[in-house]
Amino acid sequence: MKDLADKLRELNIGSVKENEPLANHTTMKIGGPADILIEPSSIDNLQKALELIRSSNSKWTVIGRGSNLLVSDKGIDGAVIKLGSGLDDIEVEGSRVTAGGGLSLVNFAMTISRKGLSGLEFAGGIPGSIGGAVYMNAGAHGSDISRILEKAYILFEDGTLEWLTNEQMKFSYRTSVLQEERPGIVVAAVFQLKEGNKEEIVAELQKNKDYRKETQPYNYPSCGSVFRNPLPNYAGNLIEKSGLKGHRIGGAQISELHANFIVNRGNATAEDVLGIIQHVKDTVLDLHGVKMETEVEIIGRK
């Protein structure tokens, strides 16, 4: 991988690090090393990096701001591409807004609310990037990304860039076409919002942000919600009814505040978290007959 890292540096595509601990790049503060961690400084440089990675027959993985992610203690093979600075622009044209895939969703929601644009109030306090939010159709408080997205600019595996409309994204609950049918990287997205009363919009956003702080654990690192809601049930309620709040393996624990969160109480490993996930699945199925599915993406070496 050293040859690939050197070639990437020669292209001057942005930051290139070798054997970088991914615990430094996930909200859970868990994860072994990436052979190479790349933070491209533009869409063009991302495209160049992906072309070089593919020509070297190396594996590659994309992360955004590292939320909704559990990385193996053994790390990730090949190149890990992190979207951030350089792909975090905002362009406002009336009520139509374009945002870079590496932009913080929280920062984006706050910025546009202060401009009197409504539609992202639900995102108050949701961690992660625009790219990740579009990829998994992030949502809360009865709304989600699919309600406001006009189109997304996707870099596909073969190096081509294409705009996909809302309909082509095939959104459903925490799902899009990018997860299995057409894997790709969200490099930008266009949102159609509505003009409204700035004070009311900001207040609603803050209310949602405050609600998350009151009901979800912010005192320890976490990856966000671990399980999808098996509607009409809610994951947190089922886990709590199963008597699992506070259940601990090693440094990982089911939050005593919200049962659909697993927190890192200090030096937790991915194996600790996976142990809890399996215990929850087994217990809820046994007690309630409900099959639990993870929302968190689990990646890395086995």
pLDDT in tens, 36-47: 999 999 999 999
Of the listed 67, 113, 225, 255, which one is catalytic?
225
Active site residue 225: yes
3-12, pLDDT tens digit by residue? 999 999 999 9
Provide the β-strand partners of residue 165: 151
For residue 39, the SS3 value is: strand
- Active-site residue identified among 20, 39, 121, 295: 295
pLDDT at 50 over 90: yes
pLDDT at 125: 82
- Which spans in 86-197 are helix H? 105-113, 130-136
Please give the model's pTM, rounded to 2 decimal places: 0.89
Are the beta carbons of 283 and 272 closer than 8 angstroms? no
Q: Which residues contact 180 (CB under 8 A, 6 or more apart)?
A: none
CA–CA dist 81, 22 (Å, integer) = 11
Q: Give yes or no: 9 in active site.
A: no
> What is the pLDDT at residue 31?
97
Domains and CATH numbers, the chain: 2-82 (3.30.43.10), 90-215 (3.30.465.10), 235-299 (3.90.78.10)
| pLDDT for position 85 | 86
% pLDDT > 90, the chain? 88
Dihedral sign for Cα atoms in the order 66, 67, 71, 73: positive
Residue 253 has pLDDT above 90, yes or no: yes
What integer pLDDT is reported at residue 141 of this predicted model?
86
Which tens digit of pLDDT belongs to each residue from 201-237? 999 999 999 998 899 998 999 999 999 999 899 999 9
How many residues are there in the chain? 302
Q: Exposed (0-12), middle (13-18) or buried (19+): which is 138, by Cβ within 10 Å?
A: buried
Cβ(296)–Cβ(261) below 8 Å:
no
Give pLDDT tens digits for 112-128.
999 999 999 999 888 88
Q: Which of 20, 104, 118, 174 is catalytic?
A: 174
Query: Quick one: average pLDDT of 12-30?
Result: 96
Query: What is the pLDDT at residue 167?
Result: 97
What is the model's pLDDT at position 84?
Answer: 87
Q: What would the pLDDT profile of 123-178 be if each residue is shown by its tens digit?
A: 988 888 999 999 999 988 889 999 999 999 999 988 899 999 999 999 998 899 99
The pLDDT of residue 2 is: 85
- Identify the band that residue 270 occupies on the pLDDT scale cut at 50, 70 and 90: very high
The DSSP output letter for 102 is T
What one-character DSSP code corresponds to residue 22? G
Query: Angle 133-135-138 (CA atoms, 0-180°, nearest 5)?
Result: 35
Closest-CA residue to 145 (of 183, 181, 115, 108) = 108
Annotation says 95 is catalytic:
no
Is the pLDDT at 196 greater than 90, yes or no?
Answer: yes
Q: What is the mean pLDDT of the chain?
A: 95
pLDDT for position 238: 98
pLDDT score, position 281: 98
Q: How confident is the model at residue 249 (pLDDT cuts 50, 70, 90)?
A: very high
